[in-house]
Chains A and B, each alone.
Chain A
């Protein structure tokens, strides 16, 4: 078994297994924690809990001017790498081919030039996020190993992915044989590392953000506060 076979086979399925099981377990655990109903009478005239949760989830997507320049820098840089990662993962033709191979799902790819721009922006943005975390006094104080591991497992697939690009995506997809098996295997393994880490670290915020914002939205709505 070559390294690529390993990355495409057992490593991929093991990482997906850990990803699904770990994420499910963490969510189930949260769901099973005790819940106390709020017995106080709700403020009259406020929207339903479902509407309040939805509004809070959407409202949390952009920053409030009142919280200053640092908030804007953190938020806009966050937009760049979140959108960049989504575009690169979901829009690049070889990635779509990979997803199709394991799920049968497929969709049209974005042009390579868009991919290169998105990848460059994402890498620069992640580097800036690292710089900000290393130099900002607040972030220095609150950062822990979760932050460093999460940054590393997010950055690695970007860098290892750049190492396997040497031709247009159309040619890559059309090839029957991989011309750089080892760099591709390393790229796949780096993605698998991210999948394995996902349930254990703060990458879970990709799911938890909705619950976290939603519960606060409901709490504040109950009191008559519009967030």
Chain B
């Protein structure tokens, strides 16, 4: 069987000097390790109805059918049908499923990395309940093994392999935090021998979003908890999760959990970062090999809990706001209500976007797309969908709880000459904090 699968305007990057035959072998062998029961059921259940296209912002923004989410899985599906399905020995003999070729993988790089945020909106739309986002991640595992990553993402991968962070080596963390501390006038403990909470950061918080880092410190200090950051485990963003680099994902995950155990922390607090939540909250135990000895929570959960138990108090504003639901935190993370409780505690009158909660549109930057520079024009097209929905609310504030979403939305706004500021939920809490 063959699907009409030609992808227009192919563009791809390649890493390493391995032969094409070995690249292909590595990809297919990686695909094969991912074919568990759920993956197999999902690959077999598709009825080719095309409804996933109606959910994908890349398809909606461009009208191009090549962005149909299920099409993005074609190399994975073909490898499954040929090598691992119930009838694969016969199908192979009859030549019904062609093995994916190296050219197929090269062409698919654009579909798997540039035009998929793994946001899972297609998963919600699929009448068969196929978790397409998860299958795209499985496809990325094979693409990584084949050395077929967009170069910008490969560069970040190499950096993180060396530094355990895409932002900075661990030994520079104390100096960076000292700078942030000085700039914002807030104490940021680093490398304490023991603490209850290990606080982690997203790369942007050590660069352009230092206010978020300082604001987290302000709230943590105010709530009276024993916390620290630590140079052995501080970057929660986990580029391995996005790239499909399983070994790196495990290494970065272990750095956080092992550091938390070392200092006796009972909680790892994740920053306002969607993929950090996806990687650590739901997948860390897989790499740790057993149930985690520590609790992993997102900043939104922390704020929600601190407000609920009265550890922190905030001034109520009388403003209106709309909220962008980060995919990994809400649709794939379950924190829809927590974010809204924090918004309510701030006294904000929430006007929901036309699409919100589990069916909200992704910012367009998730899954590493924001870092993948060559996808920028496509990302800007997607941004227009969000811009229109935000404008329709007419609210004073446009709030979100993911730093990567903020960066994506800020870049989109700048490109569209749209003078809307994107607020961080964390920063809004900090700005309205009643100091103890």
Contact = CB atoms under 8 A, between A and B. Distances in A.
B45 A140 contact: no
Contacts of B283: 40
Contact of B41 (A30, A34, A74, A224): A30
Contacts, number: 183
Chain B contact residues: helix, strand, loop or mixed: loop
B129 A223 contact: no
A147 interface: yes
Interface string B282-293: 111110101110
Most interface-central of A63, A78, A141, A205 (chain B CB within 10 A): A141
A208 B45 contact: yes
B54 A33 contact: no
A197 to B, nearest CB: 12
B41 A215 contact: yes
Contacts of A140: 4, 65
Contact of B42 (A145, A204, A212): A212
B169 interface: no
Nearest to B5: A141
B246 to A, nearest CB: 13
Given A30-B41, A212-B42, A64 B48 contact: no
A33 B334 contact: no
A5 interface: no
B359 A66 contact: yes
A36 B286 contact: yes
Interface string B1-41: 11111000000000000000000000000000001111111
A31 B359 CA distance: 31
B129 A66 contact: no
Contacts of A38: 282, 285-286
A39 B37 CA distance: 17
A135 to B, nearest CB: 12
Interface string A13-36: 000000000000110111101111
B60 to A, nearest CB: 8
Given A70-B51, A74-B50, A224-B334, A60 B129 contact: yes
A64 B41 contact: no
Interface string B271-311: 00000000001111110101110010000000000000000
A41 B40 CA distance: 25
Contacts of B51: 63, 67, 70-71, 74-75
Contact of B131 (A28, A36, A41, A216): A216
Interface residues of A, number: 60
B45 A78 contact: no
A140 B35 CA distance: 27
Interface in B69-108: 70-71, 84-87
Interface in B376-427: none
Nearest to B283: A40
A98 interface: no
Given A60-B127, A66-B355, A214-B129, A137 B65 contact: yes
Interface in A186-220: 200, 202, 204-205, 208-209, 211-217, 219-220
Contact of A138 (B68, B87, B128, B330): B68
22 contacts: A30-B37, A30-B86, A33-B39, A35-B37, A38-B285, A40-B286, A60-B127, A67-B125, A70-B50, A70-B51, A71-B51, A138-B59, A140-B65, A141-B3, A142-B3, A142-B68, A143-B48, A144-B48, A204-B45, A208-B41, A208-B44, A213-B129
Interface of B: 1-5, 35-42, 44-51, 53-55, 59, 65-66, 68, 70-71, 84-87, 123-125, 127-131, 134, 281-286, 288, 290-292, 295, 330-336, 355, 358-359
Interface of A: 25-26, 28-31, 33-36, 38-41, 43, 56-57, 60, 63-64, 66-68, 70-71, 74-75, 78, 136-147, 200, 202, 204-205, 208-209, 211-217, 219-220, 223-227
Given A63-B127, A140-B4, A205-B46, 5 more contacts: A40-B285, A43-B334, A71-B51, A74-B50, A216-B130
